[in-house]
Structure 1
């Protein structure tokens, strides 16, 4: 018996696809989400991947921006059996006096 360990990954927001030999998750800079780092899903899995725009004040924090200049706080993957979330945590600045 020959076991094929290849996995086929696709992006629901663009035409990017990859084949891997392992079980690791795949991410790519997605043109369908304005260049954000987005997860890929296994081929055949019904999923929706969407960016969540920050709705709070950015101030002096370093935040992730998409290709359209909007501050983004996360990318959410919704499937029939649950959801995952990749969070872009902001970074604060400190000045010493």
Structure 2
């Protein structure tokens, strides 16, 4: 018999919590990051999760906007032992002439 343990997930930016069995990671629309899809971390892990606002010109690209209308390029999770990054890549639009 193979036993898989329960994992408890939390978000340092909002009160969201979750419990899973055998899941690798967990994401949620975070109200603390203006509705962006952000990772949850294992309960007890000290970290900071922050949104990185896009600082260059958006032009006609289809970019991810937060709940306040700002273009966001990534969500960065910084822990004592490393850093993870969720990137929101822009999408090009095709217009027929």
With normalisation by structure 1, the TM-score equals 0.93
Which residue does 1:44 correspond to in 2? Answer: 44
Mapped pair 1:79 → 2:79: yes
Which stretches of structure 1, 4 residues or longer, exceed 2 Å deviation after superposition? 94-97
In 2, the alpha carbon distance for the partners of 1:95 and 1:4 equals 50
With normalisation by structure 2, the TM-score equals 0.93
| Superposition RMSD in Å | 1.4
In 2, the alpha carbon distance for the partners of 1:9 and 1:22 equals 12
Contact 2:4 2:22 in 1 (8 A): no
Q: How many residues align?
A: 96
Question: Helix, strand or coil: the match of 1:95?
Answer: coil
Structure 2 unaligned segments of length 5 or more: list them.
none
Q: String of CA shifts for 1:12-46, please: whole Å, max 9, x gaps.
A: 00000001001320000000000000000000000
Structure 1 unaligned segments of length 5 or more: list them.
none
Question: Helix, strand or coil: the match of 1:63?
Answer: coil
Please list, as runs of the form range in 1=range in 2, the aligned pairs for 1:43-62 lying within 5 A after superposition.
Answer: 43-62=43-62
In 1, the alpha carbon distance for the partners of 2:33 and 2:15 equals 12
Q: 1:81, CA displacement in angstroms?
A: 0.3
Question: Helix, strand or coil: the match of 2:91?
Answer: coil
